[in-house]
Chain A
Amino acid sequence: MRTRTIAAACLAALLVIALGIAVAPRVPALSTAETGDRELLDRARDLYADGPRDLLGVVEIDGEETALAHFGGGADTDFEIGSITKAMTALLLADAIERGEVTEDTRLGDLLDLDGTPVADVTLAELASHRSGLPRLPTRLRDVVSSAVAANYFGRDPYRYDDSVLLDQARAAELTDRGESHYSNLGFALLGPALAEATGTGYADLLRERLLDPLGMDDTYLPRTEADLPDDATLGHTERGRTAAPWLAAAYTSTVGVRSTPADMERFARAVLDGTAPGTAALEPRWPDGDDRIGYAWVTTDVDGTEVTWHNGGTGGFVSMLALDREADRAVIVLSNTTAEVEGQAVELLTGKEWS
């Protein structure tokens, strides 16, 4: 009897250990499968060696020259670019204004069914420059709870809302400090369908026809369902040490929904730098944004005498940074599939100066 009890105790302990190992959190380190420009690899490795990292793609544009550095993956590895999507949506707005389809003073209520709620009076320029007074995220209790729990604790897409829910969230939103800069994902989520309505097409088609196709960004896309993801789609890692679910972003696609590659982001950055991308007026800084200045989504920061125009991005398992020194015709793009920050290091790669 005693032997059987001891055997059962050992078995129970082994089961606990096996379960613990099976579900244990995993924190990756920067991939050692390095390819690309040796000098850039050395500089990037020094900056990104610490912290939880896995795949990292670095692109450095200097005039006509481009250097690529890949820690795992390659130029065609796809990453969620998070809120760099906003920088693309902002170009679409500036382009639609140049085409005469909207003005920057076009009211949201003229394009979307907002039933005379406070948000109906917000202009497209206010949305694009984060001065609408809209909250960062929907404030309805059920949305706060479901998105916070989904994203923070389970590594899932927090934006599983369809278009009608987005409009309900907008109608329920209060405007606070309108005219002052307060970053709003909700605002950019509304800008996409507003532009789609003004131009008579869907947001995904608008992005494809006016930005991605003209710039040859064939590997950049907006997955609508998990079936749209390729079998080898890059997986992100959450800060809790788990695999992140892809962010499809549903109705929030114009704020965080794009996936792209280092090669395509080089095309994008180069077209923005040389002005061949549509709507580059979006980059011009026009309003105060804390210590910085902001145009349509694009932020301009003085980094110790160098003017850096940038947008960063983050999802549940990815972070990204696109930083431009327009005067020097230089750009740095960093794409990562972990949530450890990349922004300051990207600016240091661009300018050689620390970004506080």
Chain B
Amino acid sequence: MNPALIPVLIGAALCLWWALAAVSLALAARPGEGRNRLADRWDAVSRTASLGFVAALSLVVVTWTVVPVALWYLLTALSAAAVAAVVLRSPALPARGEDPAAPGRRASAIGNVVLTAAAVCALALFLP
């Protein structure tokens, strides 16, 4: 494989991951119940933190001199829309679900928040 393609492929994969995370979060924030909807506020926190993590990862890992920077702005706008959708949906969500998966969602949310906070701290500390 042409080595010059590697940063293009890595960039495409990360941008796709970011786009999917943003779109799936926005769709999950729609009213209603079901597997693809936000189950409770812990679920909202978990998925929003995941979105923040993939955005931070893209900032550091994507070779933006090869991948068009316009994608960054597009994905930022998509993420803003997803976060707005979550905020709009939050008042209608239970703080904590009563179903068997609720403890797992809470653990996942805490893990994702810690991971994203660590990523953001690393960026703040190490980026020149």
Binding site for B on A (CB under 8 A): 1, 5-6, 8-10, 12-14, 16-17, 20-21, 23-27, 51-52, 150, 153-156, 239-245, 338-340
Contact = CB atoms under 8 A, between A and B. Distances in A.
Interface string B108-128: 000000000000000100111
Interface residues of B, number: 30
Given A27-B69, A240-B64, A20 B79 contact: yes
Given A20-B79, A24-B69, A5 B128 contact: no
B128 A155 contact: yes
B69 A26 contact: yes
A189 to B, nearest CB: 23
Interface in B69-105: 69, 72-73, 76-77, 79-81, 83-88, 90-91
Contacts of A243: 128
Given A1-B91, A154-B60, A240-B63, A24 B79 contact: no
Contacts, number: 88
B91 A13 contact: no
Given A239-B66, A241-B69, A17 B128 contact: no
B76 A239 contact: no
Contacts of A51: 65
Nearest to A8: B87
The 5 nearest A-B residue pairs measured at CB: A20-B76, A241-B64, A25-B64, A245-B128, A16-B80
B45 interface: no
A1 B90 CA distance: 12
Nearest to A20: B76
17 contacts: A1-B91, A5-B88, A9-B84, A12-B80, A17-B76, A17-B77, A21-B76, A24-B76, A25-B59, A27-B65, A153-B60, A155-B128, A239-B7, A239-B64, A240-B62, A240-B63, A241-B65
B80 A17 contact: yes
A65 B86 CA distance: 67
A17 B61 CA distance: 20
Given A25-B69, A153-B60, A245-B128, 10 more contacts: A8-B87, A13-B80, A20-B77, A20-B80, A25-B62, A26-B69, A51-B65, A242-B128, A244-B128, A340-B65
Nearest to A317: B128
Contacts of A17: 76-77, 80
A9 B85 contact: yes
